[in-house]
Amino acid sequence: MCGIVGYVGSRQAYPVVIKGLKRLEYRGYDSAGIALLNGGIKLYKKQGKVADLENYTIGKSLEGTTAIGHTRWATHGEPSDANAHPHLSGSGELAMIHNGIIENYASLKADLLQKGYRFKSDTDTEVLLNFIEDIYKNNGGNLEEALRIALKRVVGAYCILLIETKNPDTIIAARKGSPLVIGIGKNEHFLASDATPIVEYTKEVVYVNDYEIAIVKPDELILKNLGNEKQTPFITKLDLELDTIEKGGYDHFMLKEIFEQPKTILDCLRGRLNAEKGTIQVSGIENYLEEISRANRIIIIACGTSWHAGLVAEYIIEETCRIPVEVEYASEFRYRNPIVHNGDMIIAISQSGETADTIVAIEKAKEQGAIIMGIVNVVGSSISRISQTGAYTHSGPEIGVASTKAFTGQLAALMLVAFKIARHRQTITEERFKELCSELALVPGKVEKILEQNESIKKIAESLKDSSDALFLGRGYNFPIALEGALKLKEISYIHAEGYPAAEMKHGPIALVDENLPVIFVATKDVYHEKIVSNMQEIKARKGQVIAVINEGDLVTPAIADSVITIPEADEIIAPILNVIPLQLLSYHIGIARGCNVDMPRNLAKSVTVE
């Protein structure tokens, strides 16, 4: 969950790496550091944001054309200067940065302590680095060989960048379970956790696979597996523009990404949905359509916001495709002994495509004969490569840690897939299929109309900013949206919030209701509408504050609610993709009103690449 950057070439490395760290800061912002090679290793690191590191380096020697940098989300050891990366080996001749967790670090550390090694930090990274140096000193050979031997003995996940004073024009990298992309320039190379630090300099990249080691020099890139066999680098062209990772005049990335949703949803639909002809073409699933249609069961695996998208998909797939669906937390699924049959369909949902628990879960299911479908945003990511079939969401880079446009992109992609499968199975009529296609095509325009209410939502947020708790309620397709609304509020404003099915409110949460508790209802028109209005009455009878997301033309709810947010009407299957937008804006404005860092909420990181 950390961000790593490396550069080797003819440029001064510091500006390249520090800018790259700023672009990766959404992956971790507890501390940051940089190591430069120039007649030795110059090491600078600081607890706090990359800006703190930048201020710390003012006036210091920053010369050097090879460097590695790191922005940290703490795992082993609290955020501190000492625990910040890079780390130096005992001899001071090696420096390393690391994204991941070494699970057997304690036994390795005990052995190294007996050999006389001393440690300056509490991190597993410093243990691994000294383990590599110990092998290097005692086994002979070169650093690459020492790294290879070490990685065969460690347990856990890692992406490593390693430099040594003896070879100032070389970075050695390795990965297992944590992403690494290498940008190819003219007599220079760029290394990073994702492509955002690289796109400014080159569009040609290589995605390093698990269990590969990269030897990177200005004019050479060598890939090898752990058996020391050379691998052929596969060069990919980046479909990414620099302006997509800048704020573009918005105060925060989160607000920018909320307002990008009319375009990003359209990008997901473009070339796939033809509403006029009533057709859907998703190239990533066409070759597996028959196998998917024959599946006796679909298991959706995801984490966090993606899990909520999976819950929406469960409702949609069971309604339209008539296939049983289970939705699993990847972190639970991977450690159970789940029953997976040959031919079961697994749908893995992940914005980054690098979520560690999800990757392990689908690898396990694939071994048991399941067909793996990936719904991911990042092209070339691990989940996209493991999957046999799937669809990209085409949401573009999402920098804000709390997911917004990636969530609606996931919903759009899942709707396309569900409707395509349903029509292939003939579980919906041609007329219903065309109706859903037309409704889905109208979503980008309706999202634009919702965003026009930004100022009125901001006023509601102002009235809620001092709340200590909140309750989100919805029924049917809107229950997962209530969960997502509660999660956003927790992430962004640090207000404790719960999401519940509205009918379950009477089985416990109603005990919390008083005049101080805001209750946010997702109450757009569907078959449950009269029942959810009754639930509002129950809250009002107990003096609770009612805020309701409703449809235009609803004349009943405004007479009950304290505040309403009115959005365009849509088919109840399509509605979740619209209903989440006002909840995103509400959470954003409450967070701002409370003085929170909405782009980088405390303790959170964007890509959870460790357990």
pLDDT at 136: 93
pLDDT greater at residue 182 or residue 334? 182
Q: How many CA atoms lie within 13 A of 216 on its CB side?
A: 32
pLDDT at 509: 78
| Domain range 3-243, CATH architecture | 4-Layer Sandwich (3.60)
pLDDT at 240: 66
> How sure is the predictor about 338, in pLDDT bands with cuts at 50, 70 and 90?
confident
Cis-peptide into 86, omega within 30 deg: yes
- pLDDT beyond 80 at 73: no
Poorest-pLDDT segment among 32-36, 233-237, 324-328, 584-588: 233-237
pLDDT at 172: 97
Average pLDDT, stretch 403-428?
Answer: 96
User: What is the number of other CB atoms lying within 10 angstroms of the CB of residue 434?
Assistant: 17
pTM: 0.81
Q: Cα separation of 211 and 423, whole Å?
A: 41
For the domain 248-441, what is the CATH code?
A: 3.40.50.10490
| 452-598 shares the fold of 3-243 | no
Domain ranges of the chain: 3-243, 248-441, 452-598
- Grouping H, G, I as helix, E, B as strand and the rest as coil, residue 556 is coil
Average pLDDT, stretch 96-119?
Answer: 90
Instruction: Give the class (CATH, top level) of 452-598.
Output: alpha beta
| Mean pLDDT score across all residues of the chain | 91
Poorest-pLDDT segment among 67-81, 131-145, 167-181: 67-81
pLDDT in tens, 461-470: 999 999 999 9
pLDDT in tens, 252-300: 999 999 999 999 999 999 999 999 999 999 999 998 899 999 898 999 9
Average pLDDT, stretch 241-262?
Answer: 84
CB 9 within 8 A of CB 219: no
In 279-340, beta strands by DSSP E: 279-280, 298-302, 325-329
pLDDT greater at residue 186 or residue 529? 186
Average pLDDT, stretch 175-200?
Answer: 91
Average pLDDT, stretch 22-26?
Answer: 84
- pLDDT beyond 80 at 95: yes
The runs of H, that is alpha helices, within 426-528 are 430-441, 443-451, 454-464, 479-493
Tell me how far apart the terminal alpha carbons of the chain are, to the nearest angstrom: 10
Burial of 78 (C-beta count, 10 Å sphere; 0-12/13-18/19+):
exposed
Q: Cα separation of 272 and 265, whole Å?
A: 12
pLDDT at 605: 65
| β-sheet bridge partners, residue 223 | 214, 231
pLDDT in tens, 490-525: 999 999 999 999 888 778 878 888 888 899 999 998
Structure tokens at 156: 């856990």
Average pLDDT, stretch 189-218?
Answer: 92
Poorest-pLDDT segment among 428-432, 456-460, 559-563: 559-563
> How sure is the predictor about 74, in pLDDT bands with cuts at 50, 70 and 90?
confident
pLDDT at 150: 92
User: What is the number of other CB atoms lying within 10 angstroms of the CB of residue 553?
Assistant: 9
Q: Cα separation of 356 and 382, whole Å?
A: 10
pLDDT in tens, 573-608: 999 999 999 999 999 999 999 999 998 888 776 656
Catalytic residues: 2, 606
> Of the candidates 297, 301, 581, which has an alpha carbon nearest to the alpha carbon of residue 457?
581
pLDDT at 1: 60
> How sure is the predictor about 245, in pLDDT bands with cuts at 50, 70 and 90?
low
Average pLDDT, stretch 561-577?
Answer: 94
Q: Looking at residue 52, what DSSP letter applies?
A: H
pLDDT at 606: 60
Q: How many residues does the chain have?
A: 611
Average pLDDT, stretch 152-178?
Answer: 92
pLDDT at 19: 93
Amino acid at 366: K
CB 539 within 8 A of CB 546: yes
User: What is the number of other CB atoms lying within 10 angstroms of the CB of residue 257?
Assistant: 27
pLDDT at 243: 63
* Torsion (CA) 550, 500, 258, 28 in degrees, nearest 10: 170
The runs of H, that is alpha helices, within 118-274 are 124-139, 143-153, 253-259, 261-269
Q: Cα separation of 247 and 259, whole Å?
A: 12
Q: Cα separation of 587 and 265, whole Å?
A: 21
Amino acid at 448: E
Poorest-pLDDT segment among 21-30, 296-305, 430-439: 21-30
Which of the listed ranges 18-27, 69-78, 320-329 does the model predict with the highest average pLDDT?
320-329
